[in-house]
Structure formats: C-alpha cells, structure tokens
Structure 1
Amino acid sequence: MPFVTKTQSTQSGQPATQPTQSTRGTTANTDLGTKPIGRLAVSLAIPAVVAQACNALYTIVDRLFLAHIPDVGDLAMTGVGVCFPITLAVSAFAMLVGMGGGPLSSIALGRGDRDLAERYLGTSVAAIVAIALALPTVLQILKAPILTLFGASPATLPYAVDFLTVYLSGTIFVQLSLGLNTFITAQGRARVAMVSVLIGALSSLALDPLFIFALDMGVRGAALANVIAQGLSALWVLRFLASQRSAIRLRIRNIRFTRMLGPMLFLGVSPFIMQITESVIQVVFNSSLQRYGGDAYVGAMTIMTSLMQLIFVFSQGISQGVQPIIGYNYGAGLYDRVRRAYRGTMAVQVAINCSMTTMFALFPAFFASLFTSDPAIADVVTRTLPYFVCGMGVFGIQNVVQCAFVGMGQAKPSLFLAIFRKLILLVPLALALPELGFGTTGVFVAEPISDITSALTAGALFAWYARRLLQED
C-alpha cells in the first residue's frame, strides 16, 4: 500500500485543506500549486540541472586532471575509476535517507502540515549521522581487498587505495550535503539547492590543480580537494535549513530516531537501489573487462561512464526539479497538474537524451581525446562508445517514471523498476554475454539492451498506475 492517500480538491481547483504553516518561507510552496506548470518546471529544473552538472564535476574533473599527471596519468585515472563504485555507494546511502524524506516532506507541505515535514528532516539528520559514522569505518578496513575485487590491478591498486583513504574521511560531508539538499529542493527552492552544489563543485575545481600538481599530492590531492569541497557544501545546506528562510526548519528537538524512519527508508530504497546497483554494475563491468581485456578496457570504461554522467546530469536534474511539483500537487489533490508535469518532462528528457547520445556516437574519438592520450584506451572508446550509449536515448522515460512514482510516494513500483533494469537485466547480461563468446563486446552491449527494455517496461507500468492514482473523484 502507498504511504499517502488521495485528498479532495475543491471545485475552484485549490486544495481542500488549506496550508496552516506560517508565511515565513512559504512563497515557493504556494507557487508549486498555482504557477503554470511549464514555467514552474523550467524555473526548478534549470537550477537542478546545474546542480547535477556540478555533482558530475567532482568525478569528471578529477579524472581529467589525473589523466595529465606526467608518466602515470592513465594509471592514476584508472585507479580512481576503480574507486567509483565505492563513491557511488557512499552517495547511495545519502539518497536512501534524503530521497525518502524529501518527497514525503514535500507531500506534507502540500497538505499544509509543516510540523510533519520538519520531523521528517530531523529524523533524516539522525539517520545520516549514524550512517556517516558506520560506513567509512567498515570501508577503511576492507578497502584493499574490495578494490582488488572491483577490478584494480597491481599497477592501479596503489592509486585506488591512496584516493579512497582520503575520500572516506569526508563521508559525513557527502552524506549531509547530498542527503539534506533534497529537503531544500522539496520546498521548491531549487536555486538555493543549486548554490549548495555549486559551492562544492567550484571549490573542487579550484583546489584540484593546487593539490594534484602544485603541491604534488597526486590522487591524494584529488581526494582532499573533494573532501574540502563537500564540507563547504554541507555547511551551506545546514546553515540554510536552520535559518528562517527555509520553509522546512532544522530544529534540534527533531534530530532523533522516530517511527517515521521506516516509511522514509521504504520510499528511499528505490533511488538507493538505483544508485547502489550502479555501483554493482561498475564492479561487474570492471572485473569482466579486466579479465577479458585488461587495464586499457577498464580505463576506457572509466571514460565512458564519465560521459554517461553528462547524460544523467540532464535526466536526473530535470527529474529532481519536477519532483517537488509532482509531490506537492499530488498531496494537494491537483491531479491535472501532476499529469501535465510528468508528460512535459518526459518529452523534454527523451529529446535531450537522444541529442546527446547522437553527439557521442558521431564523435567518439574527440571525446576520448579529452581524457587520454593513450592510443590503446582511445581505440577502445572510439570503437565501443557509439553502441554503448545508444539505449540512453529512450532511458529518459524510466527516469521520469521513477521520479513520478517517488514524488507520489509509490515505493513498490519504483523499487521494481530499479531492480528490473539493473539486477534482472544488466548484471546477468554483462556476466553472461562475455561467457557466451562475445568477450568485451558483450559487456558493452549489455547496457543498451537493458536501457531500452527497462524504459519501455517503465512506460507501460506507469500508464497503468496513473489511471488508478490520478483518477478524479
């Protein structure tokens, strides 16, 4: 059963239950239920896309700088690429809490219950701090065997260990900045959420060359720049949420574990699985490519996943921008606005995804040259990138469907889609196709097969659910 139920709307189209929260910081919330959907979606999506682009910069810029370290650049880049599944896992735990609590707080605001929204925030902070204490402790102890399992070779393992050792020291900053930023977006303050990420990304961009080259710290410098940048971003998020400008205030009395944690984690488990299975996929990719192709193929996958992140910048940014609109209006019973929000978003996402995949497919050698001068790695990217990304053109469908399900508090179908694409389709295909004689090609073609199949399945599933959830009473 979903955690939320339908609410009646008046004949005038306004929520039957009017908000009772104070006027402080409520303008953005009112806009979610009254402004024209198109203009509102653009105003929220653009800052969210910029924020996602800044998030992508953390890993992409690291790799671009590391690849240009004299003599060992390609090994350093590949070693940090092997760490990528672990950094994904760290951020996945932030999403488990934030992407569960954020949408539920947005629904609560739509119903006028500000106190409930603030209790979701307080419970989220307690959960995030607990995770940030336990997770890096375990990973620090087991990092070397984990990295070896994930595809690190004797040549790349030292670089991977150096990077991860420093990176894990800043886990609390990653958890707070990523996990709590969703509560800023949930109240319709997309620009504020964008600034929080922008602070971190620009700080990392400035500190990377200083630490990597000027101070000759190499991969440790890249990790340290990341930690400091995330720390600055976390401070910004906490400062805003504790201020009177925030419609959802962070109050000390609410920072504790409550029964609300269960519904939050149940809703957040879908984006968590989306992220954590991405980590699993990277492990499968790296280990299979190391077995069938060697370091050049692992390095090529590092470059291609960086390029795929650019596509996800737009897909996830647009979805995160529109999600508060869906959540607020679903909570308020304004179902026509919900329909217009997800339909328009889906059309835009598919158009953008198709444009970007076409660009990558037509000019793979150019994009490879941005990351490496190694002819072996560049050759792999040039040959495989066109078909590796081709399924992403329609993958925007699933992204919007996941966004809509989470925004409406529908955990079960969202969870199914997360599992279906990655655990049912992609991982088995990436393991089986190489064994069936396709070698490294099998690893690369598993991605588009899974993307296209899961996108079509998501569209059909949502069409069925929408008829039931958005039925006017």
Structure 2
Amino acid sequence: MNKEERITMLREAPIPQLLLKMGLPTMIGMLVTGLYNLVDAYFVGGLGTSQMGAISIAFPLGQAIVGIAVMFGGGAAAYISRLLGERKNKEASHVASTALYSSVFIGYIVIILLLCFLDKVIWGLGATETIFPYAKQYAIIYIASSIFNIFNVTMNNISSSEGAVKVSMSAMLLGAGLNVILDPIFIYGLHMGITGAALATAVAQIVTAIMYLFYIVKKKSIFSFSPKEIRFESKIFKEIFKIGIAILVFQLSTSVAISLTNMASQPYGDSAIAAMGIVTRVISMGIYAVFGFAKGFQPVAGYNYGAGQYVRLQSATKIAVRWTTVFCFLMALLMILFPHPVISLFTTNDEAVIKIGSLALRVNIITFVFYGMEAIYSMLSFALGKALGGWVLSAGRQAVFFIPVILLLPQFMGLNGVIAAQPIADIITIVIMGILAVKLNGEIERCANAQVVFV
C-alpha cells in the first residue's frame, strides 16, 4: 500500500474493515513486545527461582526507559494523525523527525545515567542477596541495548500514525521470532545462563531496528526522517508533550507499580517476587494486545476528528469498545479457569511460586474485563488532543490509586494485600473511566448531530 492509499483508507474505508487493518497489525506488534518478556521468563524460569526473580527486578527498568520512546512517539503520533487529517503533511513530517531524534538523544542520556548507578538502582528495586548478582548480569546488557528499543518503539508509533501498521508488525515479528530462537541457544546451548537471555533480547532489538532503518532509507514512509526536518519549535513540543507526558506517566507508573510490588513481596522471599513477576508478565500480554489494538484505533480517531468526520469517529469508537471488551472477557475467563497450568510454565516445580502465582492471577485478572474500555477511551482522549482525560486514566490505574494501596494494604493483610492491591486500584479507575466515557461520547454525539451525514 503506497502513501496515498494509506491516507485514502483512513478517510474512506468501512469502519470495521479499517479497524481490522489498523488494529490487528498493531495488536500483533504489541503482543510481540510482550512476547519478548514472556519468552525470557519461560526460558529463565528453568534456571531457578532466583534467576526468575532477577528478571522481575530488571523488568521495570526496561519499562521506564521505553517510556521515553512512548512519550515522544505516542505524543507525536496523536498530533501527526490530526495533521494528516487536516492535509498538513509537511508539518507532520517536521513532527515525525523531531520526535524520533529527540527520543534517541534523551534515551541515550538516561541509559548512561542508569548504568552509572546500576547497583544502587537494583537494590532499590527490591533485590534480595540471592537475586542481586543475577539481576546485575541481566540488567547491564538489557539496559544498554534499550537504545535500540527506544528507536523501535518511537518508529512503531510514528509509522502507525501514517497507516503503515504492517511495517511495524513485520519488524516486531522478526525480532520476536529471533528472540525465541536465540534464547534457548544462548541460555542453555552456549551455557550463558541469564546473560544469554539478555543477549538474545539485545540481538532481536538490533534486527528490528535494522528493519525500520530499511523502511526509512527506502523512502517508503510519508516522512523523510531527515535531520533537516527537525524543528525546535515550542508548538511542536507543546503538542507532543501534551499527550506524550501523559503516556510517559502511564509507562513510568507501570514501572513504579512493578517495583513497589517487588519491594512489598520481598519479605516473603524469592518465590513471592518470582510469582508476582510471572503474573505481571502474563496479564501484560493481554494489556499489550488491547493497547496494541487501541494504538491502531488512535490514528483512525485522530484522522477523522481532524477531518471533521464525526459520524465515522462515533462508529469507530463503539466498535472498538465492543471488540476489546469481548477479548478481555475471554482472556479473563481462561485465566480464572486454568491458573495452575499457566503459572507452571514459568517455574521448575516450585510449589510456593505456583500457589502464590495462581491465586494472584485469579484475583488480578477479574478487573481486566474492563481494560478494553479503559484503553479505547484513553486513546480517544489522546487522539482528540484532550490530554486531561488521558492523564486521569494513565496516572490513575498504577500511580494515583495503586501507590497508596500497595504501600498500605500489605501492612494489614500481608502477602494477600500485595495480591489485592492492583484490583482495588483498577476498580477506582473503572469508575473514573465511566465518567470520562460519558463525557466523550456526549461531545462526539453533539458534533455528529451538527454535521452533514458523511457518505
């Protein structure tokens, strides 16, 4: 599909067909991102509970670093979609280049700082004496190679905003496939242990970056990504940060939430840290899937809002909410029925890990049923340039509501308090999401009623 065809598709394709074309590839691409973490957990789980705990400790660091990419990439994507809808392609190209180079530069600085203070950071994230040496081995490579992931995630967002979702899907699939192949070879075949897991992920991310570079060099994008296109203009950064900082808050709050969960689990030993890490990764697969589809929905919403096609926007929102809710319900049902087999995949028959993980998975998956609505309305807020709604949903679930709960509840309920913290925070977020949904739906309805019916 060439550049003009992608824009025509956003403007004219039937909504169900458009959502499938835009949503499924980004959904697969995000699932691939989750697969990196799940594959590492699966193969590292065979090394032992302390090694499994080590990657649970390192996981939030990767999340925090990628937050830089989603801030620039996600913020730019929302703005780019609206600009393309307004036929302002030149301005959109300036935004794309500025976001890409800025994310890589800032990311490089953050990675250097983290590596300089790595020991203190790992201890601060809740590592035990037995977990620390493995966590450090893994984190050094994992963090250093994240510069490629910053580039990849930024490009994923920008290419999706112009409708090139298959490019992102192909790049991410290639990287994930390579990671699956290299993990057992490096970990067990070459006897590299947890270091092998980190190297496999690094190689996969480098290959994905090469795919995106090929996309740029071959000029298949609407944008040139030339340094000459960079514009240090306050308007561009204001629009990027208006949405991007809200997405960054979501990413950082996720990282903080995982770190606080690890710290709250520390008194109950390596098995508790490993179990909660497994549950986080399993549920993250569902979150990645829904969030990926929502990312595909975002340019559809942004473009049609920018083009004044409110009836199409209204239809797309209703269908997206319906589809994601059905998916969330089915996944929740599956996890509630079969928690033991799922948790057992990631441990060498550690009964404590299986027991804690199975209970935590059942408890935490219940509120996941509503995550589809939360993701769609969050993306809708960003796509429409309404940062406040995105801020509330992004910061609420794993920051404003979760942090006080995870700090207080374990004091009264012990390990059960750790397990119940996220669902309680989710319930509060669901109420806020319902209020935001009513407000956004009402605004779109008024715009649609005032519009000449789009044919």
Could you tell me whether the CA contact under 8 Å between 2:61 and 2:143 is conserved in 1?
Answer: no
**Letter of the 1:263 counterpart:** E
User: Structure 1 regions of 5+ residues with no counterpart?
Assistant: 1-22
Q: 3-state DSSP class of the match of 1:117? A: helix
Partner of 1:388: 364
- Superposed, which structure 2 residues align to 1:99-114 within 5 Å? 99-114=74-89
Asked if the contact 1:127/1:257 (under 8 Å) is kept, the reply is no
Partner of 1:34: 12
Deviation, 1:252, is 3.0
Query: Alpha carbon RMSD of aligned pairs, Å?
Result: 1.5
1:294 is matched with which residue: 269, 280, 305? 269
Do the aligned residues in 2 keep the contact of 1:300 with 1:377 (CA within 8 Å)? Answer: yes
Distance 1:258 1:200, change over 3 A: farther
SS of residue in 2 equivalent to 1:257: coil
- Structure 2 unaligned residues grouped into runs of 5+: 451-455
Deviation at 1:470, TM superposition (A): 5.7
Counterpart AA for 1:199: L
Deviation at 1:24, TM superposition (A): 5.8
Instruction: Judge conservation of contact 2:49–2:271 (CA < 8 Å) in 1.
Output: no
Moved more, 139-148 or 79-88: 139-148
Give distance in 2, aligned partners of 1:380 and 1:199. Answer: 34
Partner Cα separation in structure 2 for residue 313 and residue 98 of structure 1: 16
Contact 1:434-1:441 at 8 Å conserved across structures: yes
Q: TM-score of the superposition, structure 2-length normalised?
A: 0.95
Q: Say whether the 8 Å CA contact 2:35–2:285 is kept in structure 1.
A: no
Q: Which residue of 2 aligns with 1:19?
A: none
CA contact (8 A) 1:24 1:244 kept: no
Identical positions, percent: 27
The equivalent position to 1:263 in structure 2, one of 239, 243, 247, is 239
Give the equivalent residue in structure 2 for 1:15.
Answer: none
Counterpart of 1:61 in structure 2: which amino acid? V
Question: Which residue of the other structure, out of 251, 256, 272, is the alignment partner of 1:275?
Answer: 251
User: 8 Å contact 2:298–2:380 — kept in the other structure?
Assistant: yes
Distance (Å, rounded) in 2 between the aligned partners of 1:164 and 1:262: 33
Indicate the residue corresponding to 2:298 in structure 1: 323
Shift of 1:184: 0.9
Q: Is 2:406 the partner of 1:417?
A: no
TM-score by length of 1: 0.91
What corresponds to 1:4 in structure 2? none
Residue type at the aligned position of 2:396: F
CA distance in 1, matches of 2:391, 2:207: 33
| Cα distance in 1, alignment partners of residues 361 and 101 from structure 2 | 42
Deviations along 1:336-389, whole A, 9 cap, x unmatched? 111111111111111111111111111111111111111111111123321121
Instruction: Give the stretch that moved more between structures: 462-471 or 348-357.
Output: 462-471
What per-residue deviation string (whole Å, max 9, x for no partner) do you get for residues 4-55 of structure 1?
xxxxxxxxxxxxxxxxxxx961101111110110111012111111111111
Cα offset, 1:132, TM superposition: 2.3
Equivalent residue for 2:408, pick from 432, 450, 456: 432
Aligned with residue 61 of structure 1, among 35, 39, 56: 39
After superposition, residues 440-451 of structure 1 pair within 5 angstroms as 440-451=415-426
Q: Does 1:214 align with 2:189?
A: yes
Preserved contact between residue 184 and residue 241 of structure 1 (Cα < 8 Å):
no
> Is this contact kept in 2: 1:125–1:255, CA < 8 A?
no
Q: Which amino acid aligns with 2:307?
A: A
Equivalent residue in structure 2 for 1:50, among 28, 31, 36: 28
1:242/1:251 contact within 8 Å kept: no
2:198 alignment partner in structure 1: 223
Q: CA deviation at 1:424?
A: 2.1
1:256 CA displacement: 5.3
What secondary structure, in the 3-state scheme, does the structure 2 residue paired with 1:46 have?
helix
Shift of 1:463: 1.8
* Corresponding residue number in structure 1 for 2:453: none
Aligned partner of residue 123 in structure 1, secondary structure:
helix
Contact 2:94 2:229 in 1 (8 A): yes
* Number of corresponding residues: 446
3-state DSSP class of the match of 2:7? helix
Give the match for residue 244 of structure 1: 219
Give the equivalent residue in structure 2 for 1:95: 70
Q: Deviations over 1:52-83 (max 9, x none)?
A: 111111111011111113xxx22111101110
Greater share of helix residues, 1 or 2? 2
Question: Residue type of the partner of 1:31?
Answer: M
CA contact (8 A) 2:279 2:360 kept: no
Q: Does 1:155 align with 2:130?
A: yes
* Match of residue 373 from structure 2: 397
| 1:194-229 residue CA offsets vs partner (Å, 9 max, x unmatched) | 011112111211211121112211111111111111
